[in-house]
Chains A and B, each alone.
With several copies, the nearest count.
Chain A
Amino acid sequence: MVCVCLVFGSWTLVFLINTTMISLTHEPIDYHSLTEAVRSPQSGAVVLFLGTVRELTAGRQTVALDYEGYPEMARAKLEELEQAARSRWPIDKVAIVHRLGHLELGDISVAVAVSCPHRKQAFEAGQFLIDELKVSVPIWKRENWADGSTEWVHPGGEMTKGEIDGAKG
């Protein structure tokens, strides 16, 4: 929160501005800086979530993921999520960064850091932010399977044969 005061003669206008720390990047995520950015003496609790590229998904072996985003809308949706979280929990600071491009096994795809006065708030807010990010922020991943094939991931699963045949017919 930043406090901006404009003084006009005997009038003072005070603006409280939530500093947003939301970004998309093609570089490796520096979660240490991200976490430092949300620490503050007003907050006794910091929760950091990292999403990393997992080797096995439903038994199939991943070798890499490619992430694509719709950047302007993704940033707008992340800012909305931050506001939604702030309306539910007494959040001090939030920082969210999502990586785009080619990620190898173990790489960090997303980091969410949040600070609150108390730990329960920080856990709830952090989980809310990553849960909602995954359903509303326009970013997509493409699996690079160990057998050399690639596949866009989108909830609801692959198209059924009927849908594909329907399109051809």
Chain B
Amino acid sequence: MKSLSVKLFAKARDLVGSPTVELPWSDGETVAALKQRLSEQCPDLKPLVPRLLVAVNNNYAADDCVLKTTDEVACFPPVSGG
């Protein structure tokens, strides 16, 4: 099975304890599946998952967006720059 590399930032990275996480992945799966997978594989991240934003190739992605293992995928909490 292929794997999807997911970058993590800010509190998401701190909770997981790593700047990236590798998830088993089948082409055709969506952002919603990614969030489900993250909750299972990283229990410490679970409380933050409902608020996580997902970015695909530098754009925000909705729950029904399909992810390929070649995509650049990132997960992070609501932004607080400025």
- Picked from A73, A98, A136, A154, the residue with its CB within 8 Å of the CB of B77 is A154
Assuming the A-B contacts A154-B51, A159-B48, are A133 and B74 also in contact, with contact meaning beta carbons closer than 8 angstroms in the complex?
A: no
Cα separation A130 to B82 with both chains bound (whole Å): 7
Q: Is A134's CB within 8 Å of the partner chain B?
A: yes
A149 to chain B, nearest CB (A): 14
The main secondary structure of chain A at its interface with chain B is: mixed
Chain B residues whose C-beta falls within 8 Å of the C-beta of A70 in the assembled complex: 7, 9, 55, 74, 76
Chain A residues whose C-beta falls within 8 Å of the C-beta of B79 in the assembled complex: 134-140, 154-155
Q: Are A134 and B76 in contact (CB under 8 A)?
A: no
Cα separation A74 to B80 with both chains bound (whole Å): 12
* Stretch in contact with the other chain, from B25-33, B39-47, B62-70: B39-47
Interface residue count on the A side (C-beta < 8 Å): 34
- Picked from A77, A140, A166, the residue with its CB within 8 Å of the CB of B80 is A140
B-contact bits for A155-169, CB 8 A (1 contact / 0 none) = 110010001101100
Assuming the A-B contacts A70-B7, A154-B11, A166-B46, are A139 and B80 also in contact, with contact meaning beta carbons closer than 8 angstroms in the complex?
A: yes
Interface residue count on the B side (C-beta < 8 Å): 25
- Picked from B10, B43, B60, B81, the residue with its CB within 8 Å of the CB of A110 is B81
Interface residues of chain B, those whose CB is within 8 Å of chain A, are: 7, 9-11, 14, 43-44, 46-48, 50-51, 53, 55, 58-60, 74, 76-82
Chain B residues whose C-beta falls within 8 Å of the C-beta of A73 in the assembled complex: 55, 58, 74
Q: Are B81 and A72 in contact (CB under 8 A)?
A: no
Cα separation A67 to B82 with both chains bound (whole Å): 9
Chain A residues whose C-beta falls within 8 Å of the C-beta of B81 in the assembled complex: 67, 69, 74, 98, 109-110, 133-134, 137-141
Please list the 10 inter-chain residue pairs (A to B) with the smallest Cβ-Cβ separation, ordered nearest first.
A139-B81, A140-B10, A167-B47, A167-B46, A152-B11, A134-B82, A154-B77, A153-B80, A163-B47, A73-B58
A117 to chain B, nearest CB (A): 14
A150 to chain B, nearest CB (A): 10
Residue of B nearest to A67 (CB): B81
